Amino acid sequence: MRVYFDNAATTALDPEVLKEMYKVMEGQFGNPSSIHSHGREVRTLIERSRKTVANLLHTSPAEIFFTSGGTEADNTAIRCGIIDHKLTHAITTKLEHHAVIHTLQSMEKSGTIKLSYVDVDCKGNVDYNHLETLLKDNERSLVSLMHANNELGTITDIERVGDLCEAYNAIFHSDTVQTVGHYPHDLQKLKVHFMVCAAHKLHGPKGVGFLHVNHKVKINPMIYGGAQERNMRGGTENVYGIAGLAKALELAYTEMGTHQTYIQDLKSYMMAKMIHEIPGVAFNGETDPAKSLYTVLNTSFPEMDMADMLLFNLDIAGISASGGSACSSGSDIGSHVLTAIGASADRPSVRFSFSKYNTKDEVDFTVAKLKELCMVSA
């Protein structure tokens, strides 16, 4: 058996998405900027895809810009949000994805901003009172807080953050890469200025995503060049990717409730089985289903010999997962997220992340292998 439990890293392409992309690749090769019929046909396809995305998120197509994925969208939101609005202060946490944290740290290093970190608890929950204090005590800020943490699964209450940002006139960017297509987002109600998507996290293609820019914040072009993306991002569009993204999101919304129930059940089943079978097992991050992404389970194992070989041994045993441990003192190798929540550097951690394609048989197989590995190295 070969098991894929690394769906927070990327997901398998849905065959329906592949079919849609193949259709475009085969028959619609025109350049969308060309004014002849080959071009116009592809332009229509892009605008139809934009409308699909916008309708699902309850926003206007004018607020959706296709990008090369989550990293580009995060970088653009943060850099344009800060530079174009002349902000000198930003607020984030130490748990953000590197696409966010490295962007902000580079702006801090260049002297563009002062950067403040909101406190988080040992499960990765944001301290909203501390966030309010930081908003109150500083100049107008850019707030960048992710919706769900990609390593821990812990969910931030972005409605509450949006309200706070509105009260203090802050600009709010949320890295929603792990939740778009997994939870509904209503951009009529959510007080967010920027949010992002990467299609490959929802059974779509790699190298494509989008940035939502609320009409209330005006920004300058992200990439200078041609007039693509309404002058905001020059460069011939990733047409197949955009068609695949729209299809993947459409499928995700059609099947969202069913998949949420199915995957949450798999996750709860794996947690219960691990507690029963593996002495000393624990979980990093939130485990309350209301505050935890149903696709992610971060597991912490007791100290063992050759702990750093655990992922390799799982791979040899037929299981693809990812993870690591908190950084040990004096070292920066390891997970910055586990370090930030104070996880022990001596306990190896593995992130198992699930999709609609996983089964309980795969969970049984994985827990049995883990039990063997923990017993061998105890």
d(CA 145, CA 156): 8
Q: Which is nearer to ligand PLP, 223 or 309 (CB)?
A: 223
Listed ranges 170-178, 187-195, 308-316, 335-343: which one lies at the site for ligand PLP (CB under 6 A)? 170-178
- Could you say whether residue 180 binds ligand PLP (CB under 6 A)? no
- Write the CA distances from 234 to 60, 83, 145, 288, integer angstroms: 21, 19, 28, 43
- Could you say whether residue 116 binds ligand PLP (CB under 6 A)? no
- Could you say whether residue 351 binds ligand PLP (CB under 6 A)? no
- Could you say whether residue 205 binds ligand PLP (CB under 6 A)? no
Q: Which residue has the tokens 């894929």?
A: 4
Marked catalytic residue, from 80, 197, 327, 374: 327
Phi, psi (degrees; rounded to nearest 5) at 370: -65, -40
Q: Which is nearer to ligand PLP, 175 or 237 (CB)?
A: 175
Q: How far is the CB of 324 from ligand PLP (least distance, A)?
A: 14
Does 327 participate in catalysis according to the annotation? yes
- Could you say whether residue 203 binds ligand PLP (CB under 6 A)? no
Residue 172 DSSP code: E
- Could you say whether residue 239 binds ligand PLP (CB under 6 A)? no
The two tokens of residue 210 are 């989008």
- Could you say whether residue 146 binds ligand PLP (CB under 6 A)? yes
Half-sphere exposure of 38 (CA within 13 A, CB side): 8
Query: Out of 99, 118, 152, 363, which residue is the one contacting ligand PLP (CB under 6 A)?
Result: 99
Listed ranges 16-24, 173-181, 305-313, 324-332: which one lies at the site for ligand PLP (CB under 6 A)? 173-181
| Nearest-10 crossing angle of helices 239-254, 37-56 | 30
Binding to ligand PLP, residues 40-69 (CB under 6 A): 69
d(CA 215, CA 193): 8
- Write the CA distances from 285 to 122, 297, 314, 317, integer angstroms: 7, 8, 22, 26
Residue 334 DSSP code: S
d(CA 4, CA 51): 33
Query: Out of 50, 79, 97, 347, which residue is the one contacting ligand PLP (CB under 6 A)?
Result: 97
d(CA 295, CA 150): 10
Listed ranges 15-23, 174-182, 231-239, 364-372: which one lies at the site for ligand PLP (CB under 6 A)? 174-182
Return the active site residues: 327
Binding-site ranges for ligand PLP (CB under 6 A) = 69-71, 74, 97, 99, 146, 150, 175, 177-178, 198, 209
